[in-house]
Structure 1
Amino acid sequence: MFTEARLYSPVTRTGDGDVTVHLSEEHPGVRDPEYRARRNAIAALALEYVPGAALPRIDYTEDEQRVWRTVSVELARKHRRYACTDILDAAARLALPTARIPQLDEVSAALAPLTGFRYVPAAGLVPLREFFGSFAERTFHSTQYIRHHSAPLYTPEPDAVHEIVGHATQLACPRFAAVYETAGAAVARLRTDAALKFLADVFWFSMEFGVVRERGEIRCYGAGLLSSYGEIEEFRGAELRPLDVRAMGTATYDITHYQPVLYCAESVTHLEDVVGEFFATIDDETPARMRARPVSPRPAAAARPRGSA
């Protein structure tokens, strides 16, 4: 099952107010004191944010801007080849800058006339209930840090590239934004951790790693694929299974590897009908009902290490 804490570097704050982002030993920036200080400072701004206040603006360094330029250009090329039409149309309407990292207030301003979503800052991990629940108010919690400049096409954790190139592009599409909002509305009905976890896992295999058939090809729409320089090249080699919310909500998977199994919609309408309807009807008893249904055994697919994201 998906373990949310593994996605982000833990952030702690002392009684004196000092904020520390605890990078793993494998993180490209772990031995760069300047990068670590930047991460701490950016996290501190997010922790100080008060809802309704002006969003914190980050004075990005030239190294950080160079990373954005490199990744933006490369991902735009891959989107033209691999992303579905709804994503390409949304990206054109959103028109993210490629020469510099957009501030969160700029992303919100660009999304407002398209779907009404807005961004707020996050230091790192946001609890599931708060993260998904905010979708009902068309709010998305986003990190603002950027991956280490030594590895511009790799990140071990979600950064501004993932949050903006991946999720904001999705959220610029009214159809995908409506699925987010429906998932958010579901959270208000759910009281049990099991039901919330089931919802999160279905979201993982749809809005994070979703693929769709389009004109005889497999195309991607999931934010995790749209923001991954490496995995967007590899997803067509995954084992494709039909949309099945029972399987998606009960699957065991490893977020540190490319996903070896993906659930493919026959169209965006099919996604809306299956996943959108699931989010619209899930309740606390749904996981037990789903697990009680028989499922055909399938051979396990081999996972490949996540080389870039």
Structure 2
Amino acid sequence: MFTEAQLYSPVTRTGDGDVTVHLSDEHPGVHDPEYRVRRNAIAALALAYRPGEPAPKIDYTDEEQQVWRIVSAELARKHRTYACAEVLASAARLDLPADHIPQLDDVTAALTPLTGFRYVPAAGLVPLREFFGSFAEREFHSTQYIRHHSAPLYTPEPDAIHEIIGHANQIASPRFAAIYETVGAAVARLTTDTALKFLADVFWFSMEFGVVRERGEIRCYGAGLLSSYGELDEFRHAELRPLDVMAMGTAAYDITHYQPILYCAESISEIEDVIGGFFAEMDDDTPLRAKRDQKRPPVAEAS
């Protein structure tokens, strides 16, 4: 199952206000002192943010801008081949810049007229209840840092490229934005961590790593696929299964590897009906029902 904390470098703040981002030993920037100082500074700005204020403006370096340009160009090329029509249409309306990193308030200015969503800064991991719950207010918590320049097409954690190129292009679709809002409404009903985790896992296999069949071809709509150069090369080799929210909410999987199993919808309408319908109705008993269904023996067919 999905453990979101594994995706983020922990952020701590001392009593004196010093902010530190703790990169893993395998992180491409762990041995780069300048990058580590940079990450700490960007995280500190996010932690100092207060709701209602403008998002902190980041003075991105030439190196960071170059990473954005490289990844934007490569992902745009792959999106033309592998992204679904709904995402391509919403991305065209959003029209993110390819030559520079947009500030979060610029993303909000482009996104709000389309679907009412706005972006707010996050230093790193946002607790599940706060992250998903904010969708009810059409708010998305986004990191602002950029992956290390030594590996522009790879990141071990969600950075601004994932949050913006992946999620904003998706949320620019009114149909997908409505599903996000339904997720937020579901969180308000849930009282148990088990149910919240179940919701997060279904979200992972749909809005993060979902695929859809279009004209006989498999296309992606999940933000995790849309923002990953490597996943866009590999997802066509995954085992495809039909949408099954109970299986999605209980599946065990490794977030550090390309996903070997993906759940494929037959249309955007099916995503709305099955995934959106599930989020609209799920409650604290949903994980218990899923466990009961797993234990129930299959019904023998009549001969």
Paired residue for 1:268?
268
Q: CA deviation at 1:295?
A: 7.7
Equivalent residue of 2:119, what SS? Answer: strand
Paired residue for 2:211?
211
Q: Distance in 2 between matches of 1:287 and 1:151?
A: 39
Q: Note if 1:46 corresponds to 2:40.
A: no
Paired residue for 1:101?
101
Paired residue for 1:247?
247
CA deviations on 1:96-127 (whole Å, 9 max, x unpaired) are 00000000000000001100000000000000
TM-score by length of 2: 0.97
CA deviations on 1:246-286 (whole Å, 9 max, x unpaired) are 00000000100000000000001001100100000001011
Where do 1:23-102 residues align within 5 Å?
23-102=23-102
Equivalent residue of 2:140, what SS? Answer: strand
Letter in 1 for 2:146: I
Q: CA deviation at 1:4?
A: 1.3
Q: CA deviation at 1:293?
A: 1.1
CA deviations on 1:38-59 (whole Å, 9 max, x unpaired) are 0000000000000001110000
Stretches of structure 2 lacking an aligned partner (at least 5 in a row): 298-303
Paired residue for 1:7?
7
TM-score by length of 1: 0.95
Where do 1:145-156 residues align within 5 Å?
145-156=145-156
Equivalent residue of 1:205, what SS? Answer: helix
Paired residue for 1:171?
171
Q: Distance in 2 between matches of 1:54 and 1:294?
A: 48
Paired residue for 1:186?
186
Paired residue for 2:143?
143
**Change in 2 beyond 3 A, CA 1:240/1:89:** same
Where do 1:221-300 residues align within 5 Å?
221-294=221-294
Q: CA deviation at 1:290?
A: 1.8
Paired residue for 1:198?
198
CA deviations on 1:148-202 (whole Å, 9 max, x unpaired) are 0111111010000000000000000000000000001000000000100000000
Runs (4+) of structure 1 exceeding 6 A deviation are none
Q: Distance in 2 between matches of 1:81 and 1:291?
A: 39
Q: Distance in 1 between matches of 2:3 and 2:293?
A: 24
Where do 1:115-130 residues align within 5 Å?
115-130=115-130
Paired residue for 1:220?
220
Q: CA deviation at 1:294?
A: 3.8
Q: Distance in 1 between matches of 2:140 and 2:127?
A: 13
Q: Distance in 2 between matches of 1:10 and 1:202?
A: 24
Corresponding pairs, count = 297
Equivalent residue of 2:212, what SS? Answer: strand
CA RMSD of aligned residues (A): 1.1
